[in-house]
C-alpha cells in the first residue's frame, strides 16, 4: 500500500518517466471491483459509453515563465467544482500489476502513484481513488462530471501547491485501456485523475475507468 499518509522526509529528486514496462502493467488498471448497485450511479463523461469515449481537447498553454516543480510527494487534492477535498496517500502496484487503490473503507482518500512523477514535475503524475464503496459514494464519485477548464489543486509535502487545468475527461474500457495515451510524457507537467466508471454489474463491477486529463498552469 506504499508508505502511507505520513512522511518523515522525502527525496528531492526527479522520478523516472513512465517506462514501457510500467505502461503495460498499468494498462489493466482497476479501482473499485465491488461497487454499490445503485441508480442512477456516478455521473459519466458525455457520451457515457465505454466503447466510444470523447477525444481530449487542446491542452491549455501555461503562462510564460512557469517552471516545473522539483520532486515532492502529494499530500492533498482539491477539486472545488466537484466538492473534492481529500488527503492523498502513496500507492504502488498490486500483485496483478494494477495501481493499488486506497483502502475502500475510507471513502475520502485518494492515492498518488509513488513510483511515477510527482504532481508538478515534468511528466505525467497519477492520482487514483474509489468512485464508491459498499456504503455509497466515495472521493471521486463526481469525476465524470468534471468540465474542461476546471482546476485541480494538489498540495505537496514540500508545502508547494500545483494547480492543473482540466482539458479532457473520458471513459475507457478496462479491456482496451490506452496506457500510452493516458500515462505518456507530453513534455509538460501533467496530471491524470482516475476512478472507475462505465457500465456496472454485481458480478464484474465497473467495466471502465474515468480519466481526467489536466496540465499544470500555476504553482504557489
Q: What is the CATH number of the domain that holds 96?
A: 2.40.260.10
The answer to the question of residue 46 being in a domain is: no
pTM: 0.82
The answer to the question of residue 212 being in a domain is: yes
Rounded CA gap, 65 and 197, in Å?
37
The answer to the question of residue 209 being in a domain is: yes
The answer to the question of residue 3 being in a domain is: no
The answer to the question of residue 4 being in a domain is: no
The answer to the question of residue 152 being in a domain is: yes
Nearest Cα to Cα of residue 110 among 93, 125, 94, 89:
89
pLDDT at 95: 79
Nine cell digits for residue 46: 458525455
Which residue segment(s) compose the domain that 134 sits in? 68-219
Rounded CA gap, 33 and 204, in Å?
7
Average pLDDT over residues 25-33: 42
Helices (H) and strands (E) in the chain, counts: 2, 10
The answer to the question of residue 139 being in a domain is: yes
pLDDT at 125 over 90: yes
Find out whether the peptide bond into 40 is cis, omega within 30 degrees of 0: yes
pLDDT at 215: 98
The mean-pLDDT minimum among 37-51, 146-160, 173-187, 196-210 falls in: 37-51
Q: Choose between 183 and 56: higher pLDDT.
A: 183
Nearest Cα to Cα of residue 191 among 170, 216, 171, 209:
216
Nearest Cα to Cα of residue 195 among 117, 137, 119:
137
Rounded CA gap, 200 and 26, in Å?
21
Nine cell digits for residue 47: 457520451
pLDDT at 33: 41
pLDDT at 159 over 90: yes
pLDDT at 44: 76
pLDDT at 201 over 90: no
**C-alpha Rg value of the chain to the nearest Å:** 16
pLDDT at 198: 85
pLDDT at 126 over 90: yes
* Count of domains observed in the chain: 1
CA dihedral 30, 36, 38, 41 (to 10 degrees): -30
The answer to the question of residue 81 being in a domain is: yes
Amino acid at each position: 500500500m506504499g508508505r502511507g499518509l505520513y512522511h518523515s522526509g522525502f527525496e528531492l529528486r526527479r522520478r523516472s518517466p513512465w517506462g514501457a514496462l510500467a505502461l503495460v502493467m498499468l494498462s489493466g488498471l482497476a479501482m473499485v471491483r465491488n461497487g454499490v448497485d445503485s441508480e442512477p450511479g456516478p455521473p459519466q463523461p458525455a457520451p457515457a459509453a465505454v466503447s466510444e469515449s470523447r477525444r481530449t481537447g487542446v491542452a491549455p498553454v501555461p503562462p510564460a515563465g512557469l517552471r516545473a516543480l522539483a520532486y515532492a510527494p502529494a499530500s492533498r487534492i482539491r477539486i472545488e467544482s466537484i466538492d473534492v477535498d481529500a488527503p492523498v496517500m502513496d500507492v504502488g502496484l498490486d500483485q496483478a500489476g494494477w495501481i493499488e487503490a486506497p483502502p475502500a473503507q475510507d471513502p475520502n482518500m485518494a492515492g498518488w502513484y509513488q513510483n511515477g512523477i510527482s504532481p508538478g514535475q515534468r511528466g505525467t503524475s497519477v492520482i487514483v481513488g474509489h468512485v464508491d464503496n459498499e456504503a455509497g459514494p466515495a472521493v471521486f464519485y463526481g469525476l465524470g462530471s468534471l468540465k474542461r477548464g476546471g482546476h485541480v489543486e494538489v498540495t505537496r509535502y514540500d508545502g508547494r501547491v500545483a494547480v492543473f487545468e482540466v482539458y479532457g475527461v473520458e471513459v475507457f474500457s478496462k479491456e482496451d485501456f490506452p496506457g500510452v495515451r493516458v500515462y505518456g510524457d507530453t513534455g509538460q507537467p501533467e496530471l491524470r485523475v482516475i476512478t472507475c466508471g462505465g457500465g456496472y454489474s454485481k458480478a464484474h463491477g465497473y467495466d471502465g475507468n474515468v480519466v481526467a486529463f489536466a496540465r499544470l498552469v500555476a504553482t504557489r
